[in-house]
Chains A and B, each alone.
Chain A
Amino acid sequence: MKRFFSLCILSIFMLTFAGCSQLVRSRTEIDRIFNTRIVAIDSTDDNKILYTIVTKTAMTDTAGQGGGSAASDVLVSNGATVFEAARKMGEYAHRKPHYGHTEFIIFGEDTAREGILPYLDFISRNQEFRYNAKIYIIQGHTANDFITKVNEAKIFLADRLSLMEDNSYAISISDKVTLAEALFIFGKENIATFLPVIAIAPSKPGELPSQGPYDMAMKGYAIFKEDKLVEFLDEDMSRGVNWVKNRMRSAVILVDAPDKKKVSLEIAQSKTTIKPFIDENGLQCTISINFSTNLSETMSEEELFTIESFDYLKKQQEKQVKQNVEKVIHYALEKDMDIFGLLSPFIIKYPMMKDELREKWRELFPEIKFNVEVDSKINRTYLITESVNTK
Chain B
Amino acid sequence: MLNYKNSSRNAEDIVFEETFDYNELELTFRNIQSIIGSYSDFVYRNINIVNDKKLEAYMVYIDGMVGTQLVSDYVLKPLMQADVFAKCSSEADVISIIEQGTVYYSNAKKRTNINDVLNDVLTGSAAVIFDKHRIAFTFETKGFDKRPVSEPISENVIKGAKDAFNETIRSNTATCRRKIKSPNLAIEETIVGKQSKTPIAICYMKNIVDDSLVQEVKRRVNDISVAHAITASFIEEFIIDNKNSPFPQIMYTERPDRFCANLLEGRIGLIIDGLPVAFIAPGTLLQFVQAPEDYSQHYLISSLIRYVRFTSMFVTLLLPAFYISITTFHQEMIPTELTFSIVASKVGVPFPMFVEVLLMLIAFELLVEAGLRLPQTIGQTVSIVGALVVGQAAVEAKLLSPATVIIVATTAITSFTMPNQDLSNALRLWRFLLAIASSIIGMYGLTMGLFLLINQWCRMDSFNVPYLSPFIGDEKLQLQDSLFRFPLSTMKNRPESLKTKNKQRMK
Contacts and interface: CB of A to CB of B under 8 A. Distances in A.
Interface string B342-360: 1110110100111000000
A12 B353 CA distance: 17
Contacts of A29: 327-328, 346, 352-353
Interface in A7-41: 12, 15-16, 24, 26-31, 33, 35, 37
B328 A58 contact: no
Interface of B: 327-334, 336, 339-340, 342-344, 346-347, 349, 352-354, 436, 439-442
Contact of A58 (B331, B332, B336, B343): B343
A58 B343 CA distance: 7
Given A56-B340, A61-B344, A100-B333, A30 B436 contact: no
5 contacts: A27-B328, A27-B442, A29-B328, A29-B346, A58-B344
A100 B442 CA distance: 16
Contacts of A30: 327-328, 331, 334, 339, 342-343, 346, 353
B107 to A, nearest CB: 52
Chief secondary structure at chain B's binding surface: helix
Contact of B441 (A24, A28, A35, A103): A24
Contacts of B331: 28, 30, 33, 35, 98, 100-101
A128 B332 contact: yes
A29 B342 CA distance: 11
A101 B327 CA distance: 13
Interface core residue of B333, B343, B354, B442 (most chain A CB under 10 Å): B343
Contacts of A37: 336
A35 B343 contact: yes
A103 B336 CA distance: 9
Given A30-B353, A58-B344, A130-B332, 7 more contacts: A12-B436, A16-B439, A30-B327, A31-B349, A59-B344, A100-B331, A100-B332
Nearest to A28: B328
A314 to B, nearest CB: 44
Contacts of B329: 26-28
Chief secondary structure at chain A's binding surface: loop
A101 B347 contact: no
Nearest to A24: B441
Contacts of A98: 331-332
Nearest to A30: B327
B360 to A, nearest CB: 16
A315 B209 CA distance: 83
A140 to B, nearest CB: 29
Nearest to B327: A30
Interface string A79-112: 0000000000000000000111101000000000
B399 to A, nearest CB: 15
A139 B352 CA distance: 44
B69 to A, nearest CB: 59
- Of A61, A101, A130, most buried by chain B (CB within 10 Å of CB) is A101
Contacts of B344: 58-59, 61-62
A243 to B, nearest CB: 33
Nearest to B325: A27
B196 to A, nearest CB: 31
A31 B346 contact: yes
Contacts of A62: 344
Interface in A36-86: 37, 56, 58-59, 61-62
B332 A16 contact: no
Nearest to B439: A16
B440 A16 contact: yes
B59 to A, nearest CB: 57
Contact of B436 (A16, A59, A100): A16
A7 to B, nearest CB: 15
B433 to A, nearest CB: 9
A15 B440 contact: yes
Contacts of A103: 336
Nearest 3 A-B pairs (CB), nearest first?
A100-B332, A31-B346, A30-B327
B340 A35 contact: yes
A29 B329 CA distance: 8
Nearest to A33: B331
A101 B336 contact: yes
Contacts of A101: 331-332, 336, 339
Contacts of B336: 35, 37, 101, 103
A130 B439 CA distance: 25
A58 B440 contact: no
A33 B333 CA distance: 14
Contacts of B436: 12, 16
A35 B328 contact: no
Contacts of A59: 344, 347
Contacts of B332: 98-101, 128, 130
Contacts of B353: 29-30
Interface in A118-176: 128, 130
B354 A16 contact: yes
